[in-house]
Amino acid sequence: MKNIGNYLIATAFAVAMAGTTHAADYTLKLAHNGPEQHPFQDGAEALKAAVEKSTGGAVTVQIFPGEQLGTEEAASQMVKQGTIGCTIASAGGGLAPFVPEADLLNLPFVFNDMDHFYRVVDGPVGERIAGKVEASLNAEVLGWWFAGIRNVWNGKRPVKSPDDLKGLKIRVMGSPVLIDTFNALGAQATPMSFGEVYTSLQQGVIDGAESDHVDLLVENFYEVTKYVSLTGHMYLAAALVCSKSQIEKLPSDLQEKFRVAAATGTQAEREAMAGMTNDALAQLKEKGLEFHEVDLTPFREKVSIVYEKNAESVGGIAAITELASQ
């Protein structure tokens, strides 16, 4: 009887373990270059909460903000190698160095408004670029996030025309299109990682940069700059890019739950960015930054050469026309 009892206990334990579909835990690291106050963090935390709830803790997400694991480009390389689970890679700093077609989204003044931006990234153009990213980085693109409408700013003088940019060293991401854009405007385009910007401004290595209002606020750039020109030259897209090899380590049902959670994170980030942008503008004005409206006509004229130079690499004139018509 004792042996039979032991057998029944062992059998019951085995059945119970079989019923526990995922005995092992799975942890994915997610990297981004924003501080914890950035909408990227809101999106990442929403993804984390959703997947940990839906999987009962079988899948967990560790978030590494502020370039803790490396620059945008380095994080994209880590995803490609399968050493981290996901990164939030902007089209300018995290995608264009690997996928020239991603620079289509970085062309100056290519978007008319937010509705146009989302029609593009959520439509055939965004899907096609995502496919290129997936092939290049051995990854899955699980959503397009929004990283803000970008303006040029500096600490030396107000910029109201392209002539005012002459000689200014302006930090840009590693996108060839962005480098060409600011060189065409007369500035000295200076590529560098996001984490170097504040110190470089302090030390006079650069005179300014281009970013959205949220970055100006949460990165404390307002402490080391003065004049913001409302050029609105770029709507920065960012992709939630996840390692295919790491996703495929998850059982199939957990993979789907992770993808659903990624959609939750995408929506949360978009909402956080929309909500924070106007608030950031008000706070920046209170902190003493000067905001200048500009006539965009001469800026648009100066950068027309950027379209000609980069048309082939971003997918051709047809790709540019398709984006513009969305």
Q: What is the mean pLDDT of each run of 10 residues along the chain (326 residues)?
A: 38 37 76 96 98 97 96 97 98 96 98 98 98 98 98 97 97 96 98 94 97 96 97 98 97 97 98 94 96 97 97 97 96
The answer to whether the beta carbons of residues 296 and 111 sit under 8 Å apart is no
**3-state DSSP percent of the chain in helix, strand and coil, to 5:** 55, 20, 25
Q: How many CB atoms lie within 10 A of CB 286?
A: 9
Q: What is the CA radius of gyration of the chain?
A: 23
Name the nearest CA neighbour of 143 among 153, 151, 133: 133
Q: How many CB atoms lie within 10 A of CB 163?
A: 11
Check residue 225 and give its pLDDT. 97
Domain 2-325: CATH superfamily, name plus number:
Bacterial extracellular solute-binding protein, family 7 (3.40.190.170)
Helix or strand or coil: residue 207?
coil
The answer to whether the beta carbons of residues 147 and 237 sit under 8 Å apart is yes
What count of Cα atoms within 13 Å lies in the side-chain half-sphere of residue 268? 20
Check residue 22 and give its pLDDT. 47
Distance CA 114, CA 104 (A): 16
Check residue 155 and give its pLDDT. 97
Q: What is the pTM of this model?
A: 0.90
Question: Side chain identity at 134, as an amino acid letter?
Answer: E
Q: How many CB atoms lie within 10 A of CB 281?
A: 19
Distance CA 148, CA 133 (A): 21
Buried/exposed 74-108: b ≥16 CB within 10 Å, e otherwise? ebbbbbbebebbbbbbbbbbbbbbbbbbbbbbbbb
What is the domain partition of the chain in residue ranges? Answer: 2-325
Check residue 278 and give its pLDDT. 87
Q: How many CB atoms lie within 10 A of CB 265?
A: 29
| Burial class of residue 3 (count of CB atoms within 10 Å of its CB; 0-12, 13-18, 19+) | exposed
Length of the chain: 326
Check residue 20 and give its pLDDT. 43
Distance CA 207, CA 241 (A): 32
The answer to whether the beta carbons of residues 195 and 66 sit under 8 Å apart is yes
